[in-house]
Amino acid sequence: MRENHFQQKNYKNYLYSGFLGILFRWQHKMLSPKIYKNCEKILEIGPGFEPNLKFTKLNFKEYYCLELNQNIDHEDYYKKNFPNIKFNTYDGKSIKFEDNYFDRIIISHTLEHILDFENFLIEMLRVLKKGSVISIASPCDNGLLWRLGRYMLKKTYHKYKKTSEIDYDYLIAKEHVNTIFQIISVLKKNFHIVDETYLPFRFKIIDLNLIHICHVMKK
């Protein structure tokens, strides 16, 4: 669902080089502050080829990753590079674990892809233990700075990579089905946010930042 020819070919280099590389590595560190680094059972949803564990030292007994795409490249990649991670796939709606199983859930740049993300958040809370957190990172799409950054990337990086502007716009239109305004509105209305920050400028204004990070606690 999240993968296509453009993403398979460019996604890793696109997000983890240059300024974006600095920003995304910073995001991973902010996503796992010291208070959440010691958890026995951790679930990460939608990490692609870049799990949080790659950038932040975490202490755990069990670490699971769930991916929508059943591309064998993902599974082989995890077996080779992260043998301590248990890799599984899921259908984007249900998580095949028992209630109250995990001590922490990490989900980075994934909620914007999920059509019924509110019910999926409820499903995540189901498999999370009481008093534990879901750590969430989302792009500030459709904020002003995010749109400006996307325009600049179309005129520089994607032009250099010979990706047509219409193909890139189509990809974003199909994949980013939820804006940051929708995500934050749902989170603040129905879930208990215990911490919230923005990158790169930290002040809480969507239009002047690129990434939103928060931690939702199960009460």
136-150 pLDDT per residue, tens: 999 999 999 999 999
- What's the rounded mean pLDDT across residues 31-57? 95
Helix, strand, or coil (residue 194): strand
Q: Encode pLDDT of 152-174 as tens digits.
A: 988 887 787 788 889 888 888 99
Global pTM value = 0.91
Residues 6 or more apart whose Cβ sits within 8 Å of residue 102: 41, 42, 43, 64, 127, 128, 129, 132
pLDDT band for position 8 (cuts 50, 70, 90) = very low
